[in-house]
Every structure is written in structure tokens, then in C-alpha cells.
A and B are shown apart, each in its own frame.
Chain A
Amino acid sequence: MRFIFKTDYDQDIRLAKHEGARFWYSALVVALLLAPWVLPEYWLAQLTFVLIYSIAGLGLMLLAGFTGLFSLGHAAFLGVGAYTEAVLTNAGVPFPIAIVGAASLSAAVGWVVGLPALRVRGIYLGMATLAFGFIVEEGLARWDSVTGGNSGLQVKAPSISGWALSTATEFYALCLLITILATLGVLNLLRSPTGRAFVAIRDSEVSAQSMGIHLAHYKTLSFALSAALAGIAGALYAHKLQFISPDQFSILQSIDLLLMIVIGGLGSVHGAFLGATFLIAMPQVIAILKDYLPASIGQAPGLQSVIYGAVLVSFVLFEPMGLHGRWLKVRTYLQSFPFYRKGMFKRQKSFQKSDRLR
């Protein structure tokens, strides 16, 4: 069991709360930096996808996990980012400008979508964002002159002042850099007044308002930031696949994103990464399993969907806090061995919550 003795207010502000955290996160970064030399090309590509999805997950986590606003159309922001990046890159715009453009346009669209969020919440917000997702998908398919319609769009490799990042390793390094920057940005936000305002809105709008938090401002801000991160992820996604078409940004993609953060653990930054890892690793695991299963099951169509569904249902039922919540429990079990009690993480039901002003 680790006891942290606090002697300084700075300790509560620091990102790494203790020596152990500093060591393990540094180790993780070193491992990720060494990955291109260790992993075969296929697995490196999968790792790149994990990073890309993590960025999108961070965005959705900020919105759903920390501000409490659910979006069922997040793939649309991914799409806006991807297409902006593709069009700009193909027009010869250097990568740094193109990605800022992709993020800005996504953020602007997110801001607009955030406006209905001021009036509707819960399932109704879900429906509004779902409709938005369909509109964007349809728009991308119909706007032939720019997006190439349903036949899709080729995307050139990113280039920074004449240096084209065409190899897998170079692109992986780029994704890693952007992921680290995005993570630091989100963590900074969460330990500052802006992030606390988001959490306040999630937990009680009426008292957030009475504490001086401008609901409209922070809700649209959360949407814009979330969309910007999704846009950045979309831009990298476009480069990684080198070919984009509207059906990649359909409702299935939106659900994948939502599934990712729920399985990862709503309300934790770790959750976005764990969820992304899960989302990318799961099809691989299923593919490996297929060979060991009897043909009647292993070769059955829709096996993947069944497993995905089963996993999601069991998470909602047995581990609402997701993979990160499970990890916390395992860690507490080990740290406090043999004193772990079954109900340690059980939350007291709240009966006092007022519904009067909702």
C-alpha cells in the first residue's frame, strides 16, 4: 500500500502524483518509442490505429465522460476532419496547416451541433446527434465535386516542408507525437477551471449555473473541443488508410466510438486508451480464435458482432466503470491484500437528488 504524504499544494496539481506513476508512464512512452524496431509492420499499423482511435476517444470522453453529453454521431466529426485533411493535402497544403484546418473546421461544426445541446439532453440529444451523423454522411456522399462522392477520395502522404512522411514508421511517430500532445492538453484542461466547469455541468447543471458557470458557453465549448479532437483523429485516419469514402463514417463508426469509451470506462482519461486498445485488439483476437473453434461456429457470419454485443452487455451489467474501473479494483485488491472487501467500490445510492428544477 502506498501512502502519499502531502506537504505541498503543488502535489495535487502535478500530473504524475507519485514516483511510481512517473516511472510507469515514462516506461510506457519508451516502449511506444521503441515499438517500430520491435514490432512487425502489421502490428505497428494496428498500434497506429490504436493511437488514432485514442485521440477520437479522448474527444468523446471529454464530451460524454466529463461533460455528460452523449453524441451518437461522433463519426461525422471524424469524417469532417478526414475530408478536410484529404482535400487540403491533395491541394498541396503542408501537414501542420492541413491538420489545424481539419481540427478547426471540425470544431466549428461541433460548435454548431452543440447549440441544440443547450435545449435537449439525454436520449433527445442522442437523437439530434444521430440525425446530424446521417446528414454529414449523406452530405459527403452527395458533394461530388469536393469529396468524390461514393467512389471515395485518395489521400496523399502528409508532408512537412517538403519532407513526405511516407513510411509506416514515420507516420507512426507522427501519430504518437500528436497523441501525446492531445493527452497532455486534455489532462491540463481537466486540472484547470475549464475542466472543472465541464464536470460541474455533468453532475448538476442547476448548481453549476449558480456557481457562475455559463452553461451555454461551456456546453458548446465541450462540443467544439471534442469535435476538434475527433477531427484530428479523422485527419490521421485518412492518411493511414490513404483512401476515404463516406461509408467509413457511418453510424457503425459512431457506435464503435461510443462503445470504446463505455468499455474503456466513462469519466477517465485512461478509459479512452484502454477502450481504443480493446476496439482494435478484439477483431484480431476473434480472428485468432476462429482457427481454434469448430467450423460451424468459427466460420459463422456475424460472429464478431455477437461477441462485441455480448462484451458490451456484460460490461454494462457487471462493470459499468469499464476496463479502467476493473483495473482500479485489481490494483486496490493487490495494494490492500488481504483486506479487500467486496463492497469497496459500491456506490451509495443517492435518494436526495432533486429533480424539481429539471
Chain B
Amino acid sequence: MSAILSAQKLSVRFGGVLAVKDVSFDVQAGEVFTLIGPNGAGKTTVFNLISRIYHPTTGTIDYTGPSGTLRLTDHAAHEVAALGIARTFQNIELFEFATVLQNLLIGRHTQRRSNLWQDLLFTGRVRTAELEAREKVEEVIEFLELQHYRDTLVAGLPYGVRKVVEMARALCAQPRLILLDEPSSGLNVEETDDMAFWIQDICQELGVTILMVEHDMSLVSKVSDRVLAMNQGEVLAMGTAREVQNDPGVIEAYLGSVSDVASLRRPVALKGTGTGKTTGADR
């Protein structure tokens, strides 16, 4: 296996806040790599660095595409998709007043082959390209079972379906690496199970590498090959889901340290001490 994406010493500063601090990691081709961490850990910021919405203060990101390794941090945000990196958003950024089908066709934008004048005249070339795009889109629709919603406006769809549509739109770009920002947030148990199933399918059947941010640990341990835990912009631990979950640093970040726990413990009445009353002095 080779690294498809390699982040070296990424840092990003917003004014006085160091949102991401010296984060380095490699994503291997063909794996499911998950970022976990409490709120404000900088997971989404890492995503935004990769999709070039933010520019790192220091550090670089290298991406190995079909045409060799290139420095992602030298490319503009709109070029990332064409390189083979697609993404979804935590809060769903679909095109609301367009149908599901149109949304997915927009996902095919990187594959467009016509120019403005051909579009204006809708030449044969545009028509052929449109039909081809439609066929690819239909494959994705079938893969994610969206047939029923094909002609519905996104504005009228329930949240769970929108999540799937957004993933479908990312898939339509035919990416080699897909970034999923909290794919299960706002989904019920059943929908989360479906999501886990699809994530595995995307990785194994379509051979797309997945980098995701996720909070649901059962989903994370079910699908991820490797997990990177972050807290306050720094890397805490990296390894399999089980290793990371048992890492003392990670436990501390989520639950607080042993000393913190002790200070939070409520004074408890001890059996058989007579008075049944405890004071601060008992501790």
C-alpha cells in the first residue's frame, strides 16, 4: 500500500487560536481512515485544509494522484475535485432548489468537456456528454438506492436522505479519495447502519479511499482501518479503533483525567460508618 495523502506538520492559526498544531498523518490508498476527537479538536479544520478552503499557516499536504505525487497546498480550492478528491459537509451543503438528479449532475462538473459556446447551442457533443453523465449518475443512484428521490427537490427531502444524496454527489465526481464529514450525524440507528454498509461498499467495491470525521464509535470501529484521535488541534493517538479507544490520552480527552474525575465525584454516604453523613473531610 502507498500513501494517497500525506500531511506533514500542518498548523493553522486563526488570530490567536492555533486550531491545528503540527498534525502529520498518512492516508494509505484503499483504507478507511477516521479522525475522531471532541468538539473543537480541529477535525473539520483538517478537512477544510485538504479541500483547500483554508490555507495552512505552516506545513504541507501531498497527494498522490494517477499522474504522480503533487503538492496539494499549491492548488486552488476548485482544482481539488478534478484531482480526484471529493467531500461532504457536516451540515449538508446541497443545492437546495435543484432536484436530486441535478445535484448529482453538478457532481459531474469536473468531467465536463464542452465550452460555453457549445453549451449555448447545445451541440451534439454536449448532448452525448449529458447522456453519458446521466448514465454515470444513474449508476450512483442505483448504488445508493436513491431511485425514489430522483426528481424531488432537495429542499423537500428528510435529513437522512440528504446525507445520502450528498455522499452520492461526491461519488459522482468519481473521486479516488472521498472526505466524509460526520456521515452519521443526525441519522437514526437504522440509517447509521446503512451508512456503515455503504462506506464499506464504497471502499471495497469502488476502491475509493475514505477519510472521515465521525463521532459514533460503533460506526468508527465497524468500518475504520485506522483511527487518528485529535484534541485541541494536536494528534493524541493513531492506530486501530481498539488501540485508540484504549489509549489513556484519548480517554483523558473525552472523559477528563483521573484527578478531574476525583474532584467531580459526589460525596457518597458510606455504609456502616454510623452517622451516614459525609463531609468534605471524609475524602
Are the CB atoms of A191 and B122 closer together than 8 Å? yes
Are the CB atoms of A211 and B119 closer together than 8 Å? no
Are the CB atoms of B106 and A354 closer together than 8 Å? no
- Chain A residues in 8 Å Cβ range of B169: 211
22 contacts between A and B (CB under 8 A): A9-B134, A9-B138, A12-B101, A13-B127, A13-B131, A192-B130, A196-B109, A199-B95, A200-B95, A204-B95, A206-B93, A208-B95, A210-B80, A210-B86, A211-B86, A214-B76, A347-B156, A348-B155, A350-B155, A352-B91, A352-B92, A353-B91
Known contacts A194-B119, A212-B80; 19 additional CB pairs below 8 A are A9-B135, A10-B131, A189-B120, A192-B122, A192-B130, A193-B109, A193-B114, A194-B116, A203-B95, A204-B94, A209-B53, A210-B51, A212-B109, A212-B173, A221-B116, A347-B156, A350-B155, A357-B48, A357-B53
The residue in chain A whose Cβ has the minimal distance to the Cβ of B108 is: A193
A130 at the interface (CB under 8 A from B): no
**When the two chains form the complex, which single residue of B53, B78, B101 contacts A212, counting CB atoms closer than 8 Å?**
B78
The residue in chain A whose Cβ has the minimal distance to the Cβ of B97 is: A203
What residues of chain B have their CB less than 8 Å away from a CB belonging to chain A?
Answer: 48, 51, 53, 76-82, 86-87, 89-98, 101-102, 105-110, 112, 114, 116, 118-122, 126-127, 129-131, 134-135, 138, 155-156, 159, 169, 173, 186
A197 at the interface (CB under 8 A from B): yes
A195 at the interface (CB under 8 A from B): yes
Alpha-carbon distance between A204 and B114 when the two chains are bound, in angstroms: 23
Are the CB atoms of B116 and A197 closer together than 8 Å? no
The residue in chain A whose Cβ has the minimal distance to the Cβ of B95 is: A203
A185 at the interface (CB under 8 A from B): yes
Alpha-carbon distance between A191 and B80 when the two chains are bound, in angstroms: 25
Question: Known contacts being A209-B77, A211-B107, is A12 close to B96, with CB within 8 Å?
Answer: no
A341 at the interface (CB under 8 A from B): no
- Chain B residues in 8 Å Cβ range of A210: 51, 53, 77, 80-81, 86-87, 93
- Chain B residues in 8 Å Cβ range of A353: 91-92
Q: How far is the CB of B160 from chain A (nearest CB, A)?
A: 12
The residue in chain A whose Cβ has the minimal distance to the Cβ of B113 is: A193
Q: How far is the CB of A105 from chain B (nearest CB, A)?
A: 18
Contact with B along A188-230 (1 / 0, CB 8 A): 1101111111011011101111111111000001000000000
Q: How far is the CB of B199 from chain A (nearest CB, A)?
A: 19
- Chain B residues in 8 Å Cβ range of A73: none
Are the CB atoms of B173 and A211 closer together than 8 Å? yes
Q: How far is the CB of A186 from chain B (nearest CB, A)?
A: 9
Q: How far is the CB of A296 from chain B (nearest CB, A)?
A: 46
Q: Which of A168-198 contact B (CB under 8 A)?
A: 185, 188-189, 191-197
A267 at the interface (CB under 8 A from B): yes
Interface size on A, residues (CB 8 A): 39
Q: How far is the CB of A16 from chain B (nearest CB, A)?
A: 13
A2 at the interface (CB under 8 A from B): no
A356 at the interface (CB under 8 A from B): yes
Alpha-carbon distance between A271 and B76 when the two chains are bound, in angstroms: 36
- Chain A residues in 8 Å Cβ range of B131: 9-10, 13
**When the two chains form the complex, which single residue of A188, A193, A203, A212 contacts B98, counting CB atoms closer than 8 Å?**
A203
Are the CB atoms of A209 and B89 closer together than 8 Å? no
Question: Known contacts being A196-B105, A207-B89, is A213 close to B78, with CB within 8 Å?
Answer: yes
- Chain B residues in 8 Å Cβ range of A202: 95, 97
Q: How far is the CB of A70 from chain B (nearest CB, A)?
A: 16
- Chain B residues in 8 Å Cβ range of A194: 116, 119
**When the two chains form the complex, which single residue of A189, A209, A354 contacts B78, counting CB atoms closer than 8 Å?**
A209
Q: How far is the CB of A261 from chain B (nearest CB, A)?
A: 16
Ordered nearest first, which 9 A-B pairs have the shortest CB separation? A212-B81, A207-B93, A354-B91, A203-B95, A192-B119, A188-B122, A212-B110, A193-B112, A204-B93
Are the CB atoms of B121 and A348 closer together than 8 Å? no
Q: How far is the CB of A181 from chain B (nearest CB, A)?
A: 10
Alpha-carbon distance between A347 and B118 when the two chains are bound, in angstroms: 35
Q: How far is the CB of A140 from chain B (nearest CB, A)?
A: 29
Q: How far is the CB of A212 from chain B (nearest CB, A)?
A: 3
Q: How far is the CB of B256 from chain A (nearest CB, A)?
A: 27
Q: How far is the CB of A222 from chain B (nearest CB, A)?
A: 11
Are the CB atoms of A211 and B91 closer together than 8 Å? no
Alpha-carbon distance between A267 and B89 when the two chains are bound, in angstroms: 25
**When the two chains form the complex, which single residue of B81, B89, B98 contacts A206, counting CB atoms closer than 8 Å?**
B89
- Chain A residues in 8 Å Cβ range of B53: 206, 209-210, 357
Alpha-carbon distance between A213 and B105 when the two chains are bound, in angstroms: 13
- Chain B residues in 8 Å Cβ range of A357: 48, 53
Alpha-carbon distance between A353 and B91 when the two chains are bound, in angstroms: 6
Alpha-carbon distance between A192 and B135 when the two chains are bound, in angstroms: 15
- Chain A residues in 8 Å Cβ range of B93: 204, 206-207, 210, 354
**When the two chains form the complex, which single residue of A185, A191, A267, A356 contacts B97, counting CB atoms closer than 8 Å?**
A267
Alpha-carbon distance between A353 and B79 when the two chains are bound, in angstroms: 24
Alpha-carbon distance between A76 and B169 when the two chains are bound, in angstroms: 39
The residue in chain A whose Cβ has the minimal distance to the Cβ of B185 is: A352
Alpha-carbon distance between A353 and B154 when the two chains are bound, in angstroms: 13
Alpha-carbon distance between A338 and B118 when the two chains are bound, in angstroms: 45
Q: How far is the CB of A211 from chain B (nearest CB, A)?
A: 5
Are the CB atoms of B155 and A188 closer together than 8 Å? no
